[in-house]
Amino acid sequence: MIIILLGPPGAGKGTQAKVLVEKLKIPHISTGDLLRQNVKNNTPFGIEARGYMEKGELVPDTLVNDMLLARIKVDDTKNGFILDGYPRNNAQAKILEDKLDKSDGIYVVYLQTSEPVVIQRLSGRRVCTKCGANFHLKNMPPKKEGICDICGGALYQRPDDHEETIKRRLDVYLKETASVVDYYDKKEMLYRISADDDPDIVVDKIIALAKPNRI
């Protein structure tokens, strides 16, 4: 089973994916997370990607495609995976289509939300420097300010979660990524779900699509 989560930055793709991992026992593959790991470790990928990411722009396809294709070949994906942040344009969607086995169940979920919700979610997001857990200053504050509830690591604000960069990411989304929604819609592969509901409700709706007998 392959679940592809689409939607603007801040639609909650990462949050939904983490719960889906627990419930479906398949890995979460986020190209944003993979890139941030490369940036943190100063790999050649990371050094090239950093500038684009800090400006809120897309990292060139050649870099992202190689990284993603290597990741989906790893053994833990044999029962499927949840993809978050990829494809971000139609060229990436075509590359992915060529690589996926058509007999796998492929569910493309479009998490719909609005710009004010996105800005509120992203500008308040804080991430743990150690374990990567996400918090929100208002919606999900840590018990102790600036400290991760799970591992005690320091929380930080992603450089691309500052308001100006959020706006740039939304522009890029509208210009380059929104067409991916049409791409899958035309192929009749798209399921639309409101991302403004409580995360548990959104996750149950996604699972109901992929495993209709489960809930």
Q: Which two tokens stand for residue 55?
A: 């400006």
In this structure, what is the dihedral angle of CA atoms 83, 88, 91, 96, given to the nearest 10 degrees?
Answer: 0
Please identify which of the residues 36, 50, 71, 125 carries the catalytic annotation: 125
**Beta strands at 106-112 and 28-30: parallel, antiparallel or unpaired:** unpaired
Q: Is 19 helix (H, G, I), strand (E, B) or coil?
A: helix
Please identify which of the residues 18, 36, 50, 88 carries the catalytic annotation: 88
Distance CA 192, CA 62 (A): 29
Distance CA 56, CA 132 (A): 19
148 and 128 Cβ atoms separated by less than 8 Å? yes
Q: Which is nearer to ligand AMP, 69 or 154 (CB)?
A: 69
The CB-of-124 to ligand AMP minimum distance in angstroms stands at 15
Residue 128 lies near ligand AMP (rule: CB under 6 A): no
Residue 9 lies near ligand AMP (rule: CB under 6 A): yes
Q: Does the active-site annotation cover 158?
A: yes
Distance CA 35, CA 48 (A): 10
Q: Does the active-site annotation cover 71?
A: no
Residue 86 lies near ligand AMP (rule: CB under 6 A): yes
Residue 88 lies near ligand AMP (rule: CB under 6 A): yes
63 and 38 Cβ atoms separated by less than 8 Å? no
Distance CA 102, CA 178 (A): 24
Which residues from 140-169 bind ligand AMP, rule CB under 6 A?
160, 169
The CB-of-23 to ligand AMP minimum distance in angstroms stands at 21
Q: Does the active-site annotation cover 214?
A: no
Please identify which of the residues 23, 55, 158, 211 carries the catalytic annotation: 158
The CB-of-170 to ligand AMP minimum distance in angstroms stands at 10
Q: Does the active-site annotation cover 169?
A: yes
Query: Out of 11, 12, 29, 31, which residue is the one contacting ligand AMP (CB under 6 A)?
Result: 31
Q: Does the active-site annotation cover 187?
A: no
163 and 119 Cβ atoms separated by less than 8 Å? yes
| Chain residues in the site for ligand AMP (CB under 6 A) | 9, 31-32, 35, 52-53, 56-59, 64, 85-86, 88, 92, 160, 169
Active-site residues, by number, are 13, 88, 125, 158, 169
